[in-house]
Structure 1
């Protein structure tokens, strides 16, 4: 969910380091629509899963701070053009797993957008979990097995040789500095 924001950043900022991307219940597609902000922050919970999501995620102090004060959607929105490509075939090297009854995103719109969009000579791999809500895949072993087997079967034809020179901590610190600069600039508006 929120972790797909980091995946989107890496795909956009450091595409040469990504051989394949896996998005599970992603919030980064169609982010310019109201679904994510409204469903996560403002919609009153009506079902059990919505109450759990609201209590454990929507009211958690750090997530609320990010979502209400520092959620720069335009820097994490992911378009299919941002996704990695196979170095030889140029096929989209990404898998997207969507829950059909997602309570945060409009999964049907995202599914249609990603599976019907022309991605060159290949369509993107989009897995549809029928009857699942946002994050429910964690409760079903067959869904977890599906994700892990999908990740394990990836052919890394062009392994990254410079991983030792690059680490996540430096990348996140640099992104946070950029966000702070944007925040300072935005306070003048």
Structure 2
């Protein structure tokens, strides 16, 4: 391997051993975490409960189907008291709002953070624009909910397939952000027939054999307030860090750019996790519908009305095309 590197980069590696040089082994290195007081998780529980009750259930008319792993620790008992649902799923939890029409449904998969409530305004605009069935997949193990149960790739895809088939659907348009694109990549690998179209925002699933995602998320030293926010609020949370360090298998999650028909991809120019320009260069030969969002950080599209509107337009366009393809 060293000889290959030397030939490719036209360099000569000095012989010997340097004890100061260490490799990054994401799934073997110790899990890096920073303590959070119980009140932080209590606040997340209260905010999530309010969002689910007021927005998802009351205003938007969603119904919950759960695998009974929505919360961990004492919050699992508390959630069992307040939330009663007869709908059960084997491997995933999701919200569904079904419509009685023949349109291809939308499946939305969120990223790391505090779950679906971080996307409240974006989801509101999406639901206003689309009169079709919508499924919102919950990833509690990356939502700071004390959940350590993580389905593997095959189980997650089986859960998504069951979710669609149980509602009478065989395909969907997948809209995913950040870590959610990794789940979409699983679907493209193990059940590509489920995908009628796709919109990926800040995708982490491309070029995973490069160092950017693993190193930037877990090991890069903070250089600005966004780096500190990423590290101490998200990356060093116990259960998120555990998922990243022990459950991500890059060879399962990586997307090589195949089967990107009816797909739009949006990359934040100043993304501190993804090598956006490198990914853009890679994808430009795979699909023409790849967009760089100038000056934006990772997930900053959520507070940028221009790009948020453009993403929603692309979701609508891809959904309409999926409807057309279904009829023909």
Q: TM-score range by the shorter chain?
A: 0.7 to 0.9
**Normalised TM-score (structure 2):** 0.43
Give the counterpart of 1:142 among 303, 306, 315: 306
Within-5 A mapping of 1:76-91: 76-81=253-258, 83-84=259-260
Contact 1:94-1:124 within 8 A present in 2 as well: no
Task: Give the corresponding residue for 2:228.
Answer: 51
Task: Give the corresponding residue for 2:237.
Answer: 60
How far the C-alpha of 1:79 sits from its partner, in A, is 0.9
Residue 266 of structure 2 is aligned to residue 97 of structure 1: yes
Residue 222 of structure 2 is aligned to residue 42 of structure 1: no
How far the C-alpha of 1:64 sits from its partner, in A, is 0.3
Q: Which moved more, 1:147-156 or 1:29-38?
A: 147-156
Secondary structure in 2 matching 1:105: coil
Higher helix proportion, which one?
1
Distance 1:148 1:76 in 2: 25
How far the C-alpha of 1:69 sits from its partner, in A, is 1.2
Give the counterpart of 1:109 among 272, 275, 278: 278
Structure 1 residue runs of 4+, over 4 Å off? none
The CA deviation string for residues 83-113 of structure 1, in whole angstroms up to 9 with x for no partner, is 34xxxxxxx2211100111100110100011
The CA deviation string for residues 134-154 of structure 1, in whole angstroms up to 9 with x for no partner, is 111111111111111110122
Distance 2:326 2:279 in 1: 30
Secondary structure in 2 matching 1:142: helix
Distance 2:254 2:302 in 1: 24
Residue 295 of structure 2 is aligned to residue 131 of structure 1: yes
Distance 1:107 1:51 in 2: 20
**Normalised TM-score (structure 1):** 0.74
Higher relative contact order structure (alpha carbons within 8 Å, sequence separation ≥ 6): 1
Structure with max Cα Rg: 2
Within-5 A mapping of 1:151-162: 151-154=315-318, 155-156=321-322, 157-159=324-326
The CA deviation string for residues 117-171 of structure 1, in whole angstroms up to 9 with x for no partner, is 2x4xxx33001101111111111111111111110122113449xxxxxxxxxxx
Secondary structure in 1 matching 2:270: coil
Distance 1:63 1:75 in 2: 18
Unmatched 5+ stretches in structure 2:
1-177
Residue 190 of structure 2 is aligned to residue 13 of structure 1: yes
Contact 1:102-1:133 within 8 A present in 2 as well: yes
